[in-house]
Amino acid sequence: MCRRFEWSRIALVASVAANLVCVIPSVRAEVDVSFRNEVQRSIDRGLTWLASQQNSNGWWSTTDHPAVTALAVTAFHGEPSGRYQPTPVFLRKSYGFLLGCEKPDGGIYQRDLPSYNTSLAMMALLSAPGSEFNPLLKRARAYLIGLQQDRGVVGKRDTPFDGGIGYGGVQKDPDVNNTYTALQALYFSRHLTRDQGQTSARDLNWDAAIQFLQTCQNLPERNSEPWVSVEARDRGGFIYQPGRSMAGGETNGTTGRVALRSYGSISYAGLLSYIYADLKPGDPRVVAVMDWLKANYTLRENPGMESAGLYYYLHLLTKGLSAAGVNELELKEGRRVAWRKEVALRLMELQQRDGSWVNANPRWWEKDPVLASAYSVLALETIWRGL
């Protein structure tokens, strides 16, 4: 029997439908076939548009950031009807592009953001059928593990950055988002060492990763850092990295102390990270972030960030609630939300006539319709499997 937070290796990225059984309740209402068909139609339109945007050499949007191509590839592999099976030629070209981005250190990137690009490229290659990419994936896995920070005295947690993972390269300070993407790739690739009997292979220090995440959570009884907010509106949510929140902070006029604000997308990244790190549903840190997410549930914006990162927020909301086994979200006022249907309707409302999605707010690249569309299709695919 599956534990509530235990998913098979590809289920969370909506790439292998059969493995999703662990999070679909054994008893549920009859499937709304008509609505599921509407979602499928939206997925089809999105993927048709994405296919039309691929460069003839197999990449999407830019060669500088393989992560964008990786997200598109993962979306095609997640298509629930099997329309893109066996792997079509155009996706094989994308594999070739991603393989060409491998570096001698094992990372999969071009020049910038090596951790982020490697993590998402791993997820794309993990979603591919077969095992032909396993040697590369093992090297990429080792590369990510090597990026985990341990500053100051080795083996001692003496800085708030210890245990986390950043972008890599010149941007080394760990943050929750890069830690999340790395933990996801490591979680879903763990079979590569276990199945091969390579128990001696170096693994991530998961306890240190949990401690880093805790340092970025607004939960005063677990986090004593000076930037932690004691306001009820922030309690349980996450900030971007130690000492910094994309949602800003609030200065106490008497003490001058700055408390950092929680926000939506990063709080779902925190929840998913705790799940990958095998924290149980009743753990106070998991309960606290779930409480914050319930209190701040909205589909109109990325809570705390307005329109910035809206599609990433909806993507992580879908993954996070699915991974946590939440089929109905009970809000503080007692309203029960069939969130899958609400998110699907919101995404279908936002879909452009040509099948794409785009954010008028350019922050975090979401003005690129390829990126926004990949996030949206991935979310709809996860929803489809939960309907």
pLDDT in tens, the chain (387 residues): 333 344 333 344 443 333 333 334 434 456 789 999 999 999 999 999 999 999 999 999 999 999 999 999 999 999 999 999 999 999 999 999 999 999 999 999 999 999 999 999 999 999 999 999 999 999 999 999 999 999 888 888 889 999 999 999 767 899 999 999 999 999 999 999 875 555 556 799 999 999 999 999 999 999 999 999 999 999 999 999 999 999 999 998 888 889 999 999 999 999 999 999 999 999 999 999 999 999 999 999 999 999 999 999 999 999 999 999 999 999 988 899 999 999 999 999 999 999 999 999 999 999 999 999 999 999 999 999 999
Return the beta strands (E) in 269-358 as ranges. 329-330, 336-337
What SS3 state is found at 18? helix
Which pLDDT score, from 0 to 100, does residue 150 have?
93
Q: Quick one: DSSP state of residue 249? A: E
**Cβ atoms within 10 Å of 135's Cβ, excluding its own:** 10
Q: What are phi and psi of 108, to 5 degrees?
A: -120, 90
- Maximum Cα–Cα distance for the chain, whole Å? 64
Which pLDDT score, from 0 to 100, does residue 35 have?
98
- Separation between Cα atoms, residue 192 and residue 207, nearest integer Å: 21
**Cis peptide bond upstream of 86, omega within 30:** yes
Q: Quick one: DSSP state of residue 150? A: -
Global confidence as pTM: 0.93
> What kind of fold does domain 11-386 have according to CATH?
Glycosyltransferase (1.50.10)
Q: Where are the domains of the chain?
A: 11-386
Contact criterion met (CB below 8 Å) for 278 and 5: yes
